[in-house]
Amino acid sequence: MITVEFVVIILCLLVGTRFGGMGLGLISGIGLFILSFVFGLQPGKPPVDVMLTILAVIGCAATLQTAGGLNVMMQFAERLLRRHPQHITLLAPFTTWMLTFLCGTGHVVYTMFPIIADIALKKGIRPERPMAVASIASQMAITASPVSVAVVSLVSILAAQHGVGQAFGILQILAISVPASLAGVAIAALWSLRRGKDLADDEEFQARLQDPEQRKFIYGSTDTLMDQRFPKQAYWSTWIFFAGIAVVVLLGALPELRPAFEVKGKMTALSMNLVIQMMMLIAGAVMLMVCKVNAAAISNGAVFKAGMVAIFSVFGVAWMSDTFFQAHLDELKMALEGVVKSHPWTYAIVLFLVSKLVNSQAAALTAVAPMGLMLGIDPKMLIAFFPASYGYFVLPTYPSDLACIGFDRSGTTRIGKFIINHSFILPGLIGVSCACAVSYLLVQTFM
């Protein structure tokens, strides 16, 4: 019966991914209904704390986008890339990594793809080299951003465990995930330096250039933010956003700065969940009042829409998964406890595969990490294998990868004949595996 119920969950995930994040959340409701009404399982609990924290972060980031702060960051990134075009393959992934690190979502980098392609073509560099790894880097940075949905989710999951939240707060997690993520990106970028044929030796590319229309399409336009001028309020919003992030990190590092309240007879510092929620709401409110933001336009931005889809997918997937795992916790512990304790890397494999199924690092974490803790996995291992939550590059179906392919006018960034042999698979596997290895070593050394 457990196997049949698990198959229901997997089928819901597979069908849901065909319809995107909203479909994932909605179709998970069907799975929840079947588990409860057909198999008689008591419904679990949706991750309300996680969802509210995500909502606060999204509100702040969407306000930043409406104020023009995201454009300010991307213009600065473009200035760096055009100043050193010969190093585009190394600089592009670190640029997209930094944008995601600062904003908490990989969806802010779409504007950078045509810029990266333009610089590479003008310099005679195969665009696939910087573009594919730049797309991978933009998603790997999610595990390093203090305001990303995935980091917020992991903080919430660890904080829900008795005493664990105090031992492994947001600063402890970032102290491992930031250098591990950067190391993975660096190794993937170095590997990308010589991938594929040079444009001069690429027969397919050279054949396309023989057509005057194709040549004009490939080389004819220049995408840039360099000539744009932003109002001073756009710059103010950027600094307000940075200040909010800095306060979150400071309060996470120094719990004594947070107010303490009596909980079950014990004085407990205000949880980081609530701290993040408060600071993101405050930063968004200050931007709204100081930067002349059109409040009605906030919900129309790409960041807000993508964030709300993420919340909905987390809602459905996590509720359905919790229903299954809570109902069969004892049986699962007996069957899997010894395996995951003696071979904790099996947790990383499960997390990686589920990430591909749900196309979300946060949704994968909320589905898999609580199960890992229930089975007795050391919380340190959740941090060590945090980078494994990014596995949705395996098939080229994620929006940022598809956008990257579309913006490469040269056609070198592409989906292969056998689907799996696409431009993102190798830099993704290299980046994630190296990040996991570095993260594991850092945890073993310093925790």
Q: Which pLDDT value is given to residue 248?
A: 79
Arithmetic mean of pLDDT, 85-94? 93
Helix (H, G, I), strand (E, B) or coil at 61: helix
16 within a domain of the structure (yes/no): no
28 within a domain of the structure (yes/no): no
303 within a domain of the structure (yes/no): yes
Contacts of 284 (CB under 8 A, 6+ apart): 59, 60, 63, 64
Q: What is the pLDDT of residues 97-131, one digit of tens each?
A: 988 888 777 766 776 787 888 888 888 899 999 99
Indicate the pLDDT class of residue 89, thresholds 50, 70 and 90: very high
Residue 345 is encoded by which pair of tokens?
């890397």
Residue 54 is encoded by which pair of tokens?
């995500």
What residues does 263 pair with on adjacent strands?
266
Distance from C-alpha of 420 to C-alpha of 135, rounded to nearest angstrom = 17
Write down the mean pLDDT value for the chain.
84
Indicate the pLDDT class of residue 157, thresholds 50, 70 and 90: confident
Domains: count for the chain: 1
Nearest to 233 by CA among 76, 72, 59: 72
What residues does 262 pair with on adjacent strands?
267
37 within a domain of the structure (yes/no): no
Q: What is the pLDDT of residues 33-54, one digit of tens each?
A: 999 999 999 998 887 876 787 7
Indicate the pLDDT class of residue 166, thresholds 50, 70 and 90: very low
Question: DSSP characters for 259-282?
Answer: -EEEETTEEEEPPHHHHHHHHHHH
Q: Which pLDDT value is given to residue 164?
A: 41
In 198-320, beta strands by DSSP E: 260-263, 266-269
Residue 165: pLDDT over 50: no
The mean-pLDDT minimum among 103-107, 254-258, 403-407 falls in: 103-107
Residue 135: pLDDT over 80: yes
32 within a domain of the structure (yes/no): no
Q: What is the pLDDT of residues 337-384, one digit of tens each?
A: 666 667 778 889 888 887 876 777 887 888 788 878 887 788 899 999
The mean-pLDDT minimum among 411-415, 422-426, 441-445 falls in: 411-415
283 within a domain of the structure (yes/no): yes
Distance from C-alpha of 182 to C-alpha of 167, rounded to nearest angstrom = 24
272 within a domain of the structure (yes/no): yes
Residue 163: pLDDT over 60: no
The mean-pLDDT minimum among 90-104, 160-174, 372-386 falls in: 160-174
Residue 72: pLDDT over 70: yes
227 within a domain of the structure (yes/no): yes
Arithmetic mean of pLDDT, 222-251? 83
Q: Which domain, by its residues, includes 185?
A: 45-446
What residues does 261 pair with on adjacent strands?
268
Distance from C-alpha of 182 to C-alpha of 44, rounded to nearest angstrom = 37
Please tell me which of 163-172, 220-229, 263-272, 279-288 the model is most confident about, judged by mean pLDDT: 279-288
